[in-house]
């Protein structure tokens, strides 16, 4: 019988496993934790996938630091962001968010997802109270009322089997099967946009600047990586996407240069695409009507997703991990039942409003900045001007850096 069984060892599920692991915390030694992952490549240490990188808020780096995995990420390579420049179309003024305004060494970090996963899996393998069940996938879940346990049917290389746990955690991503099997309803909205992701290398140093450029088709983000590389997240309309994905490399580069704008192209010099392919994702916001049931909790994308423009999806997931791990550890020390609704309610109460707030704000920003109406154009330019006012800028940066949850 597991105390906690996690489904999904992506960045969020693996973070929870590490947070409950006994490598750095011997009091967790008698907590029996399991984690089920369908992707067998992870077991072989292959995390390359689509070459995506994520903006990690300063607060999330602190959570990983406390768990003990941040050192592994730094060793593999994280790129600090010193300045984030926000601009709209070809408007000559921009807002610059600088780390020195907040008295921090960095606003956050850009970390390749492969670096995060490799570091988490390395740490997880060193925890003795943690069982990695991979490759394996869940097929069904059943709450066994008379014994008050959650029974999970899985399929792995040794065939089908049943596992039992006091608490099942769904960390199996936006299309979560755990959520569906538990009949948890969701609210959602699909955007008529596609995010195209590619990696470039520039001739001149990027000086650890990140750029968020709001354009008519949607936002365009440039995230700095080591060796003067940058991850591009280009939000295009659904109509223009097939054309952009099919472009020859030289024409694609020309289109890219247009989106960068002349001043930035002069600063970066020649650019070349270095990723093997252009990955594409259809963004949507989604929020589960509840994160908990008896003996079940949802975290990360299984509970909520948001448009990638603000670079917040995983940061919210890491804050879920922090909240759930703290609630479970405290309950364990007080000899409480980890799967009891009373315990899980503490987790949901800590996380719901932060998640909803970020989802709504991101949605409003995307709608506001993608709207062609003159009224909204005036409104967003006024908004950018307002952000030049120092106290307002600091409030925005405080939340963006995740400092309210550290």
Ligand X SMILES: Cc1cc2nc3c(=O)[nH]c(=O)nc-3n(C[C@H](O)[C@H](O)[C@H](O)COP(=O)(O)OP(=O)(O)OC[C@H]3O[C@@H](n4cnc5c(N)ncnc54)[C@H](O)[C@@H]3O)c2cc1C
The footprint of ligand X (CB under 6 A) covers 7-13, 36-39, 54-55, 137-138, 171-173, 177, 195, 197, 233, 281, 300-301, 308, 311-315, 317
CB nearer ligand X, residue 129 or residue 315? 315
H-type helices in 9-90, by residue range? 11-20, 58-67, 70-76
CB nearer ligand X, residue 160 or residue 203? 160
Neighbours of 124 (CB within 10 A): 24
CB nearer ligand X, residue 43 or residue 340? 43
CB nearer ligand X, residue 105 or residue 282? 282
CA 167 – CA 188 distance, rounded (Å): 26
Task: Dump the DSSP string for 215-274.
Answer: ETTEEEEEEEETTTEEEEEEEEETTTHHHHHHS-HHHHHHHHHHHH-HHHHHHH-SEEE-
| Shortest Cβ 146–ligand X spacing (Å) | 27
CB nearer ligand X, residue 153 or residue 377? 153
CB nearer ligand X, residue 350 or residue 377? 350
| Shortest Cβ 155–ligand X spacing (Å) | 9
Strand partners, 88: 214
Question: Which residues are CB-neighbours of 365 under 8 A, at least 6 positions away?
Answer: 309, 310
| Shortest Cβ 160–ligand X spacing (Å) | 13
| Shortest Cβ 225–ligand X spacing (Å) | 12
382 token code pair: 């006024």
CA 252 – CA 262 distance, rounded (Å): 16
| Shortest Cβ 131–ligand X spacing (Å) | 14
How remote is the C-alpha of 189 from its chain's centroid?
A: 18
> In this structure, are residues 151 and 163 in contact, taking their beta carbons and an 8 Å threshold?
yes
Chain position whose Cβ is nearest to ligand X: 10
| Shortest Cβ 12–ligand X spacing (Å) | 3
CB nearer ligand X, residue 150 or residue 195? 195
75 token code pair: 């060793």
CB nearer ligand X, residue 51 or residue 72? 51
| Shortest Cβ 382–ligand X spacing (Å) | 27
Task: Dump the DSSP string for 150-201.
Answer: EEEEEEETTEEEEEEEEEEEE-S-TT-HHHHHTT--EEEEE-SEEEEEEEEE
37 token code pair: 């992952």
End-to-end CA gap in the chain: 33
Question: Which residues are CB-neighbours of 367 under 8 A, at least 6 positions away?
Answer: none
CB nearer ligand X, residue 72 or residue 332? 72
Judged by phi (left if over 0) then psi (alpha if -120 to 50, else beta), residue 89 lies in left
| Shortest Cβ 57–ligand X spacing (Å) | 7
CA 191 – CA 235 distance, rounded (Å): 10
| Shortest Cβ 122–ligand X spacing (Å) | 16
Instruction: Please choose, from the candidates 321, 383, 329, the residue with its C-alpha nearest in 3D space to the C-alpha of residue 354.
Output: 321
CB nearer ligand X, residue 158 or residue 342? 158
State the residue for tokens 């066994």.
144
Instruction: Please choose, from the candidates 320, 341, 285, the residue with its C-alpha nearest in 3D space to the C-alpha of residue 13.
Output: 320
């Amino acid at each position: 019988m597991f105390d906690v069984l996690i489904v999904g060892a992506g960045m969020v599920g693996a973070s929870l496993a590490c947070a409950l692991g006994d490598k750095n915390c011997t009091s967790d030694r008698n907590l029996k934790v399991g984690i089920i992952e369908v992707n067998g490549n992870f077991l072989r240490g292959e995390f390359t996938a689509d070459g995506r990188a994520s903006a990690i808020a300063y607060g999330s780096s602190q959570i990983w630091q406390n768990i003990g995995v941040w050192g592994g990420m730094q060793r593999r390579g994280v790129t600090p962001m010193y300045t984030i420049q926000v601009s709209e179309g070809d408007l000559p003024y921009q807002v610059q968010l600088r780390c020195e305004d907040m008295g921090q060494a960095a606003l956050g970090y850009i970390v390749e997802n492969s670096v995060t996963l490799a570091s988490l899996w390395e740490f997880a393998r060193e925890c003795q109270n943690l069982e990695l069940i991979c490759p394996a996938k869940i097929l069904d879940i059943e709450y066994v009322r008379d014994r008050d346990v959650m029974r999970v049917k899985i399929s792995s290389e040794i065939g089908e089997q049943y596992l039992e746990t006091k608490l099942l955690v769904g960390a199996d991503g936006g299309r979560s099967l755990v959520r569906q099997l538990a009949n948890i309803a969701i609210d959602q909205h699909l955007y008529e946009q596609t995010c195209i992701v590619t990696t470039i290398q520039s001739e001149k140093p990027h000086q650890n600047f990140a750029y968020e450029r709001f354009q008519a088709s949607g936002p365009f983000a440039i995230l700095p990586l080591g060796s003067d590389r940058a991850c591009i997240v280009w939000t295009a309309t659904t109509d223009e996407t097939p054309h952009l994905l099919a472009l020859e490399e030289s024409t694609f580069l020309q289109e890219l240069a247009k989106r960068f704008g002349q001043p930035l192209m002069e600063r970066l010099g020649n650019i070349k695409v270095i990723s093997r392919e252009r990955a594409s994702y259809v963004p949507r916001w989604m929020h589960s009507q509840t994160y908990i049931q008896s003996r079940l909790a949802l975290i990360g994308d299984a509970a909520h997703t948001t448009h990638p423009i603000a670079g917040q999806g995983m940061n919210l997931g890491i804050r879920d991990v922090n909240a759930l791990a703290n609630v479970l550890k405290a309950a364990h020390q007080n000899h409480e039942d980890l799967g009891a609704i009373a315990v899980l309610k503490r987790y949901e109460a800590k996380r719901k409003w932060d998640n909803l707030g970020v989802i709504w704000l991101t949605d409003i920003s995307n709608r506001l900045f993608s709207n062609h109406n003159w009224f909204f154009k005036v409104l967003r330019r006024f908004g950018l001007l307002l952000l030049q006012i120092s106290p307002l800028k600091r409030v925005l940066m405080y939340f963006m850096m995740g400092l309210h949850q550290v």
